[in-house]
Structure 1
Amino acid sequence: MRTIALAVAMLSAAGCAHAAAPQGPVRTEKATFRVVEVVGGLENPWGMAFLPDGGMLVTERPGRLRLVENGKLRAEPVKGGPEVYARGQGGLLDVALDPAFAQNRRIYLSYAHAEGGKTTTRVMRARYAPEGLSEQKVIFSAEPMIQSSAHFGSRLAFGTDGTLFVTVGERFVARQDAQNLATDLGKVLRITTDGTAPPDNPFVGREGARPEIYTFGHRNPQGLVVDPRNGRVWEQEHGAMGGDEINLLKPGANYGWPEVAYGKNYDGTTIGTGRSIAPGVEAPVFYWDPSIAPSGMTLYLGDRFPGWNGDLLVGALKYQLVSRLDLDEEGRVVKEERFLEGALGRIRDVRTGPDGLVYLLTDEDPGGLYRLEPVTEAG
């Protein structure tokens, strides 16, 4: 248990002061921008989603869903959210809008749930209104529940076919379960909006395998994005001491953890077989060593930063930066650029807004929501 406490502390410790946005323009290789604080005063914000009316929903890990409207944070949280396990790395995590939100007003929340001394990652569906949530229904609960306060995942992303991808960590103490198809731990899952497994999932009908599994062999995935142009699913996960990964997911594929990985355990010992590549294991598209502790990410497809078009923008907790991964047409990383290092604090999430601007959340108390706005050299 001491090892768990150490790992949780390493991932969550980094100053508590609220960072001010950098003054003046920030110049990078392919863009110059200013950082604008949209709202501050958030408590460990984790995920965000953009509403059709221009507002935003932001989750706070202690268990609150917040509404940002007209550039201001509504004083009262949105009522009707789930009861969450807000200890260690647990709490209220991601939020996603239904693809048909304009018609059904449905949102999805992922969170840590506790029961009988054990915990798991859950997904709730609810009908949203600014006054509160209604028609709440838990559509998925990862199995099995275990005693751990770490590695819940959990990002949500809708596929181009309307199915929902959910990431679940291996819970730190059950790392071998990432290779066990009889559990949801250490997996990326694919479910329908009612929580069932689509019939074309790769392990449907396989004896001893959970049908919701899409890929396995993951450690603690906290970044997930679907390319709307081609349906490609990009996933990011924390390594241990080194070995953070960017993966391009293939249905049914094994991504290695904890047998095959880059980096080492926190105590310096070898991970699994000690190999970083092996037959039958999908290699990452990109990895970081030493670890930057990556978190939320976006695939930038907007028109406000043309130099970033088609690139991945990844937030980092440990190094407190944004990593831009320049992708070629085949999905290979040809270059990495880092910016905003130490300027704002721990970057928990990165998203592209409907306006084509880039939005960041800082996992601090107080934390903030920031917007990157392009400027000309004269501006």
Structure 2
Amino acid sequence: MESSTGRQDRRRLGIPVLGLLALALAAPQAGAADRVPSKKVELEVAPVASGLEHPWSVEVLPDGAYIVTERPGRLRIIRDGKVGEPVTGLPELFVGGQGGLLDVALSPGFAKDRRFYFTASVPGEGGQGTALFAARLSSDESKLEDVTRLFAMNRFTGTGQHFGSRIAIAGDGSLFFGIGERGEMERAQDPKDHAGSILHVTPEGKPAAGNPFADGTRGAPEIWSIGHRNPQGIVIDSADGTLYTVEHGARGGDEINAPKAGANYGWPTISYGKHYSGAEIGVGQSAEGFEQPLHYWDPSIAPGAIDVYHGAMFPEWEGDFLVAALKYELLARIDRDEAGAITGEERLFDGAYGRLRDVKVAPDGSVLLLTDEEDGALLRITRATAAP
């Protein structure tokens, strides 16, 4: 699910849920931080930059600046709180519905080769579909160089939803990324169709080693797992190398999964949600041959992205999942014990900052958020300083 909740009047950077009337005449100054309590630690939420149009993904550059995608088809660098002019050289994109410029991920060697990856919806025969690209950022950060389309899904259609698509880079440099079923449910159960799947390719875009359909006879060789509705979050836990995804359900049934090679995650045969009409989905919540989620939400929170917290700033959150949510405009912190089992959930910032699209743990242990708004923002969460 990816619908607005009609809270447009709240979606101003830095304005918490309480005290809206008192602050209505005084927008926060750049850099001003909100103090926000949580179960384990008091937080500060500060704006890094605003004026972004539906920002979708953020990464931290080696020098501490940020690279951000905007879904309408712009790539920008944010440095010292200033949003740069769009970087030139993007390929032709399809911008419409949920499509446009999507994820960005720096290659492990970015500091030396300035190479990075991005996903986007692109036009082609039959309509539009999701594609994966590689490029280099020029030394002056003004343009893209050596732009290469590494992969495009094998059937484009005219629908405008469920493109996925975030990227996780494994230790061997291979790339995992998700593609939604493009609003055509049954495609997620076809192993020869890239829609509704987690894909796994080499840095050159070829099928990666270990894929379950490597010879292409029983399924597309790039596919890792199937039965996904619209996976818009993906991460590899740096502690143990486990792949995790988060995906949208319909009226309910958003899921966190740990996709395994060749496994089927059920959509639309099983689900913990219902159709938007209220009708039942498939055969119920479980069936032989289908994997169960690690965690699910019903009703839907419309998850945007997932990360695993490892950092010095919030030791209380070590190993927890952080999930950005669009519908309820919140950050879900999913408690995990030392064995990785989920033990609870805390919901932060409910409605305070607007639709939260991306969440990223920064190298210094702070947490970055992107708000998916027409006047979107990059926010930074840090540990609150002692009160004066």
Contact persistence 1:160–1:228 (CA under 8 A): no
Separation in 2 of the partners of 1:17 and 1:60?
A: 21
Q: Which runs of 5+ in 1 are unaligned?
A: 1-6
- Among candidates 129, 152, 176, match of residue 120 of structure 1: 129
Separation in 2 of the partners of 1:370 and 1:199?
A: 38
- How far is the alpha carbon of 1:25 from its aligned partner? 1.4
- Among candidates 361, 368, 372, match of residue 381 of structure 2: 372
Quick one: structure 1 residues 270 and 117, their matched pair in 2 at CA, closer, same or farther if it must change by over 3 Å? same
**Residues 348-378 of structure 1 deviation map (CA, whole Å, 9 limit, x = unaligned):** 0000111110000000010000001111453
1:169 aligns with 2:180: yes
Contact persistence 1:11–1:293 (CA under 8 A): no
| TM-score under structure 2 length normalisation | 0.92
1:191 aligns with 2:205: no
Summarize the alignment of residues 90-169 of structure 1 with structure 2, pairs less than 5 Å apart. Answer: 90-116=99-125, 118-129=127-138, 130-169=141-180
Q: Higher mean Cα deviation, 326-335 or 179-188?
A: 326-335
Query: 3-state SS of the aligned residue for 2:8?
Result: coil
- How far is the alpha carbon of 1:208 from its aligned partner? 3.5
- Among candidates 87, 103, 108, match of residue 96 of structure 2: 87
Contact persistence 1:241–1:265 (CA under 8 A): yes
Corresponding residue for residue 233 of structure 2: 223
Quick one: structure 1 residues 13 and 90, their matched pair in 2 at CA, closer, same or farther if it must change by over 3 Å? farther
Quick one: structure 1 residues 105 and 16, their matched pair in 2 at CA, closer, same or farther if it must change by over 3 Å? farther
- Among candidates 194, 201, 220, match of residue 211 of structure 2: 201
- Among candidates 33, 40, 45, match of residue 55 of structure 2: 45
- How far is the alpha carbon of 1:13 from its aligned partner? 6.4
Give the letter for the 1:51 counterpart.
L
- How far is the alpha carbon of 1:115 from its aligned partner? 2.2
- Among candidates 31, 34, 38, match of residue 41 of structure 2: 31
Separation in 1 of the partners of 2:13 and 2:187?
A: 42
- How far is the alpha carbon of 1:332 from its aligned partner? 2.0
Separation in 1 of the partners of 2:330 and 2:209?
A: 40
Separation in 2 of the partners of 1:205 and 1:116?
A: 26
Corresponding residue for residue 181 of structure 1: 191
Contact persistence 1:347–1:360 (CA under 8 A): yes
Corresponding residue for residue 29 of structure 2: none
Query: 3-state SS of the aligned residue for 2:111?
Result: helix
Identity of aligned residues (%): 46
Separation in 2 of the partners of 1:12 and 1:61?
A: 20
Q: Which runs of 5+ in 2 are unaligned?
A: 17-32
Separation in 2 of the partners of 1:94 and 1:69?
A: 19
- How far is the alpha carbon of 1:70 from its aligned partner? 2.2
Give the letter for the 1:348 counterpart.
R
What's the C-alpha RMSD, in Å, of the aligned pairs?
Answer: 1.6
Give the letter for the 2:368 counterpart.
Y
Give the letter for the 1:212 counterpart.
E
Separation in 2 of the partners of 1:293 and 1:118?
A: 26
- How far is the alpha carbon of 1:27 from its aligned partner? 0.8
Query: 3-state SS of the aligned residue for 1:113?
Result: strand
